[in-house]
Amino acid sequence: MPIIKLNAIDSTNSYLKELCTKETLEDGTVVVTDYQTSGRGQMGTVWASEASKNLMFSVLKNISWLNVDKSFFISIATSLAIIKTLDMFLIPKLHVKWPNDILSENKKISGVLIENVIKHNQLKEAIIGIGLNVNQTDFRGLPKASSLHLILGPVFSRDEILQTLIKNINYYFNRLEKREFFELKAAYEKLLFRKDKPSTFKDAEGYMFSGFIKGVTNSGNLQVLLEDEVLKEFDLKQIQLLY
């Protein structure tokens, strides 16, 4: 498993994507950096991080065996791998805030950006970017962010976490390749933040409403039980969980 280490880069996802166009890379190739100048998150958000404090990397996974309609399972497998890793380091009260933000209690400690390479309507590769707050302590302006160091106290080895996380990513992708869709989805839904609890949401027009998170569809839409007992599906652009 090749690991490319960089002092600084605009974005590990962008670097890995460009590298893919120039050469054939081994499955599981990792690009890790101490500092990202233009780290990216879901829906065009920015992932800000102090230099040499956190874990920022991207991994290339061959997903040519996976059907396009099952592409959300890449997010499921990645989320489960991060949760398993953090659990091994004794981080408490772990949840997945749909679709793939990782929380300890109600504080965000990790984010994921997945970019799939599709050719002729066939999945080829996934570039999975992961940002994990490890030893950073200053999150001014980000009241919902935290780090492993703030939660537990010790300074963590980023290399040790990286090696453990890569192993767990391979473990869950092996299960995914074995078509364990039902088991993986059930494990993911069990970890959903605010599942079966009364929650407030905001839609794309700014309208706020209440409901209960019940699960996700195979395509990754969030299933919310509304006040009139109607189960409605929402995609990422349609809804925001307020907490």
Mean pLDDT of all residues in 58-76: 97
Instruction: Specify the pLDDT at position 37.
Output: 80
Q: Are 82 and 228 a contacting pair, CB within 8 Å?
A: no
Q: Which pLDDT score is estimated for 182?
A: 98
pLDDT in tens, 96-112: 999 999 999 999 999 99
Q: Residue 22 corresponds to which tokens in the numbers above?
A: 């120039």
Cβ contact 131:55 at 8 Å: yes
- CA-CA-CA-CA dihedral for 158, 163, 164, 166, to nearest 10: 120
For each of the domains in the chain, give its residue range(s) and CATH number, in order of start.
3-190 (3.30.930.10), 198-242 (2.30.30.100)
- Token pair of 107 as six digits: 């504080």
- Positive or negative CA dihedral for 111, 100, 98, 219? positive
In angstroms, the CA 155 to CA 13 distance is: 26
pLDDT at 47: 52
Strands (E), 37-89: 55-62
Residue 41: CB atoms within 10 Å: 15
Q: 207: how many CB neighbours lie within 10 A of its CB? A: 8
Amino acid sitting at position 27: D
Instruction: Read off the pLDDT of residues 134-168 as tens digits, 9 standing for 90 and up.
Output: 999 999 888 999 999 999 999 999 999 999 999 99
